[in-house]
Amino acid sequence: MQANLDDVLATARVVSIPLRVRFRGIDTREAVLFRGPAGWTEFSPFVEYDDQESAAWLRAAIDFGWSDLPPLHRDRILVNATVPAVDAADVPSILSRFPGCRTAKVKVAERGQVLADDVARVAAVRRAIGPEGRLRVDANTNWNVDEAEHAIRALEPFDLEYVEQPCATVTELAEIRERVSSLDVAIAADESVRKAEDPLAVARAGAADLLVVKAQPLGGVHAALRIAGEAGLPIVVSSALDTSVGISMGAHLAAALPELDYDCGLATTALLGGDVTTAPLDPVDGGIGVRRVEVDVDLLEHFTASPERTAWWLDRLRRTHALLG
């Protein structure tokens, strides 16, 4: 269902929430929240994304706020802890924010750091979660193929579940997957799905063992569900530092998948220094519930963005809405 611009603007609120620790190069997460007939929804493309890319995020927000949800197969989603590119000594305090999580995803290949930093951080996570814990790493496209092979071989002794987006292109992913085929390490694609003109190209090329899927950048729960079905690969549903409203969108996508063999990256509210609801979708016993989120008026007021940032986001919303057709 489509929503006209007046419908969206009528309840739109721009929030700015500090992060507990610097992540993805930012210290504050901004988002637009608005309410449709189905409930609250979120529009929160990162600020560097252009209008064309951001339009998919708005399409997702409208889909979640104005459309009926697909049938759900589960009411709780197991989630992973997310460890930013922190010093190894800070790992235990980060993991303490994800109670009961049996899986940890570790950011690696951070700009300004070296492989030794990654090895120390991954080693600290492995010590903290024990031999039975599941450990995955995410390079966010920041290695070339040679760097990726070197890094994966250095990190493989820590029993990696998978390496997420080690390189930027589908061709590079296919090559690194071939180079490390003798190791028991899967290759996952994220940016090659959500930032690609053809999100299925990586699956057709045999360049990944599984796909990381996010509801907002793929145009919403229904669109992401179609892509997951057509890809024919195992799926991990993840988020993009969303508020609990955006996390709810991802949780409903995960719940709608017929099969869900991997823990999902839907616990990132633990990295925020606040939220827009008194009942946030924080991880409890290693999982989150699948439910709509009702925002709290006082929290919306508390985290309201400055007038300048509010105007910037509402202008962006108007421009991207004009691209929806």
Which one from 177, 214, 222, 321 is the annotated catalytic residue?
214
Q: Say whether 25 sits in a helix, a strand or coil.
A: coil
Is 261 annotated as a binding-site member?
no
Pairwise CA distance, residues 134 & 102, whole Å: 6
Is 164 labelled as part of a ligand binding site?
A: yes
Which residue, chain included where needed, has tokens 């991990």?
236
Choose the catalytic residue: 29, 107, 126, 194: 107
Chain centroid, CA 102 distance in Å: 18
User: Does the annotation list 53 as a binding residue?
Assistant: no
80-104: b or e for each residue (b if 16 or more CB lie within 10 Å)?
A: bbbbbbbebeebeebbebbeebbbb
Q: Are 25 and 10 in contact (CB under 8 A)?
A: no
Classified as helix, coil or strand, 237 is strand
At residue 96, φ and ψ (nearest 5 deg) are -65, -15
Asked whether 255 and 231 are in contact (CB, 8 A), the reply is no
214 is catalytic: yes
Cβ neighbours for 167, distance < 8 A, ≥ 6 positions apart: 139, 141, 143, 144, 145, 148, 173, 175, 176
- Per the CB < 8 A criterion, the answer to whether 156 and 183 are in contact is yes
The length of the chain in residues reads 325
Which residues are part of the catalytic machinery? 107, 214
Residue stretches of the annotated binding site: 138, 164, 190
Residue stretches of the annotated binding site for Mg(2+): 138, 164, 190
